[in-house]
Structure 1
Amino acid sequence: MTGRIVVVTGTGTGVGKTIATAALTVRELGNGSVVVVKPVQTGMGPGWGETADVSVIHTLTGCDVLELTTLDDPLAPDTAARLRGVSIPPIAEYADRIRALAEGHDCVLVEGAGGLLVRLDTDGGTLLDLAADLAAEVVVVVSAGLGTLNHTELTVQALRGRGVEPAGLVVGSWPVEPGLAETCNLEDLPVVAGLPVIAVVPAGAGALDPATFRDRAPSWFSAPAPLG
């Protein structure tokens, strides 16, 4: 058995990628065995007070998780590695480990770090390189507010430029009281990207208790706006 590989990227940092990955995990758990992989996690050194993304996902979903490389400082992975003078694996090694996981699971969800072109190794390799190497499905997590149309279109164009057609968009944090920009963006995102919005995750979803999160997450995929 070789399972599907789904790469989750964002249009930038802070768009809700981790919680969106958790929601995708809940959906995939209904179809079989799932493992969530974080190739590189930064900001885990003493004094930074960061919580590993995979820990958040495990708490919310109960899914198996795996972190491949951990770096101290909250910086882009290649910068964090160079700052401390440490070696980190190249993209090809991450790809091999993810393929091995896919042999034993129905789905491997791979959460990136920051945006699509953030360098994950010190050789210039990016999440885009990893997705192309794996021939993975790609889901793009986007913000709801001003600027999202430009950031989304740039990300989608970069994927298509490498022959990777994204599966769809996820709005990572939909406000309780959306304004004019958010409402219009929800209509315009599919137009500018040429992709469906497959889920809309409500703001604050990560603060739900795990049972409530697992109960509500499927509804975020079945309606054009979150049901709360």
Structure 2
Amino acid sequence: MHGILVVTGTGTGIGKTVTTAALAAVALGAGRSVAVLKPAQTGVAAEEPGDVAEVRRLAGEAVTGAELARFPEPLAPATAARRAGRPYVRAETVAEEAEKLAARHDLVLVEGAGGLLVRFDDAGTTLADAARLLAAPVLVVAAAGLGTLNATALTTEALRSRGLRAAGVVIGALPADPDLATRCNLEDLPEAAGTPLRGVLPAGAGALRPADFRAAAGSWLSPELGGSRPDR
């Protein structure tokens, strides 16, 4: 992997940050320089570690971290900024910062907040707009269980309608004992999404010791993402 990759999700709490950490760990292991950009961190106090800190903890401190804005309430960035009385994040600013990081790193991972069309600002710009400005592919992190086919298909349809390229789908947290719907989703997601399944992370991956996380990360991701897991 090289260049800029945007990481979005079909919702919140589905494993975007751990997936970003796995991507970073694999790239670092291959000798590449890596930066992670979080345009808007919400629901975290000023003194608390955010998603960038978690990526660096899991993948390694060699990752360059950047955070454009932080808002204390766990809300969409536009709403959180408005309620906090702070400046909005703009898609243009996200793109500019990502390009600056790309000039100094082999791989830049831009991790969104929530889903693809969550609003950054009062103009309604989103992570999709930043990806369009960057002409960057977008990796979709999806849930494993019932309902994920529709949510993932809607996300990839939104990408295609905007002329954006999906870099594939990654399941952010696969239970150790998946139910029937989850097992079927592993087979059905590529067709529903119209893009390959590029990785499957086990539930609890983020709780592994960092050394164990880094050693295992490549087995969760496909060769397209720098790992060794076969595509579907």
Residue of structure 2 in register with 1:223 after alignment: 229
Q: Distance in 2 between matches of 1:11 and 1:142?
A: 5
Partner letter of residue 14 of structure 2?
V
Residue of structure 1 in register with 2:146 after alignment: 146
Residue of structure 2 in register with 1:77 after alignment: 77
Contact 1:11 1:115 in 2 (8 A): yes
Q: Distance in 1 between matches of 2:168 and 2:157?
A: 13
Residue of structure 1 in register with 2:97 after alignment: 97
Give, in angstroms, the shift of residue 50 of structure 1.
6.2
Give, in angstroms, the shift of residue 133 of structure 1.
0.8
Q: What's the % identity of the aligned pairs? A: 54
Residue of structure 2 in register with 1:20 after alignment: 19
Which structure 1 residue ranges, 4+ long, deviate > 2 Å from structure 2? 222-225
Contact 2:37 2:109 in 1 (8 A): yes
Matches within 5 A, 1:25-44: 25-29=24-28, 30-44=30-44
Q: Distance in 2 between matches of 1:124 and 1:143?
A: 25
Matches within 5 A, 1:1-228: 4-29=3-28, 30-45=30-45, 51-62=49-60, 63-221=63-221, 222-223=228-229
Q: Which moved more, 1:80-89 or 1:18-27?
A: 80-89
Aligned length: 221
Give deviations 1:136-169, integer Å, cap 9, x for gaps: 1110000100000000000000000000120111
Q: Distance in 1 between matches of 2:229 and 2:93?
A: 38
Give, in angstroms, the shift of residue 203 of structure 1.
0.3
Residue of structure 1 in register with 2:224 after alignment: none
Give, in angstroms, the shift of residue 45 of structure 1.
2.9
Give the TM-score normalised by structure 2.
0.91
SS of residue matched to 1:217? helix
Partner letter of residue 19 of structure 1?
V
SS of residue matched to 2:69? strand
Contact 2:138 2:166 in 1 (8 A): yes
Q: Distance in 1 between matches of 2:121 and 2:178?
A: 38
Contact 2:81 2:88 in 1 (8 A): yes
Contact 1:43 1:50 in 2 (8 A): no
Contact 1:144 1:171 in 2 (8 A): yes
Q: Distance in 2 between matches of 1:104 and 1:211?
A: 26
Contact 2:68 2:89 in 1 (8 A): no
Q: Give 5+ residue unaligned stretches, structure 1.
A: none
1:133–1:77 CA distance, 2 compared to 1 (3 A): same
Give the TM-score normalised by structure 1.
0.93
Q: Distance in 2 between matches of 1:51 and 1:185?
A: 33
Q: Distance in 1 between matches of 2:192 and 2:35?
A: 32
Q: Give 5+ residue unaligned stretches, structure 2.
A: 222-227
Give, in angstroms, the shift of residue 126 of structure 1.
0.4
